[in-house]
A = this chain, B = another copy of it.
Amino acid sequence: MRTTEMMNTYPAEISVDRDLLARTIDMLVACAQACTSCADACLSEETVTELRKCIRTNLDCADIYAATARILSRHTGYDANLTHAQLQACAQACESCGDECEQHAGHHEHCSVCAEACRACAQACNELLAAIA
């Protein structure tokens, strides 16, 4: 990831703490990839019928994380209300997916890794929410 490197080339001010912002973007991007992978791994498990909700939540979260990472990567014409609302939705998605994957973490290593990624991502989102409040 070149997130910080790109951020440092932005030609105008960025109103948010750059380290926290770059860290959150990186986590969102990594977590989106983990959720896409976890949905696909769940789909190949013999016990797929017990993993339907997990697959669905992973798909939702991959979409929400990807959209949020893009929004946070844009600094031009910053809209605090929009960013705040999307970050709140994202933090909720992290919690939902963390909870769901955690239930299968004992049986499936992909759910364990994904739950851990979502927990770390939730913390970053909440720190960023506090910073931009």
Residues B73 and A43 in contact, CB atoms below 8 Å apart = no
State which of B7, B62, B74 has its C-beta within 8 Å of the C-beta of A56: B74
CA distance A107 to B81 in the complex (A): 26
Nearest Cβ on chain B to A96's Cβ, whole angstroms: 5
Chain A interface category by residue count:
35 or more
Residues of B close to A74: CB separation below 8 A: 36, 40, 56, 59-60
Whether the Cβ atoms of A56 and B76 lie closer than 8 Å is: yes
Beta-carbon contact of B1 and A30 below 8 Å: yes
> What is the count of identical protomers in the complex?
4
A57 beta carbon closer than 8 Å to chain B: yes
**When each residue 42-73 of chain A gets 1 if its CB lies under 8 Å from chain B and 0 otherwise, what string results?**
01111011001111110110111011011101
Complex partner residue of A43 from B52, B82, B85, B113, CB under 8 angstroms? B52
A122 within 8 A of B: no
Q: Say if the beta carbon of A3 comes within 8 Å of chain B.
A: yes
Q: Is the CB of B70 within 8 A of A57?
A: no
User: Which residues in A have some Cβ–Cβ distance to B below 8 Å?
Assistant: 1-3, 5-7, 9-12, 25, 29-30, 33-34, 36-38, 40-41, 43-46, 48-49, 52-57, 59-60, 62-64, 66-67, 69-71, 73-77, 79, 81-82, 85-86, 88-89, 92-93, 95-96, 100, 108-110, 113-114, 117
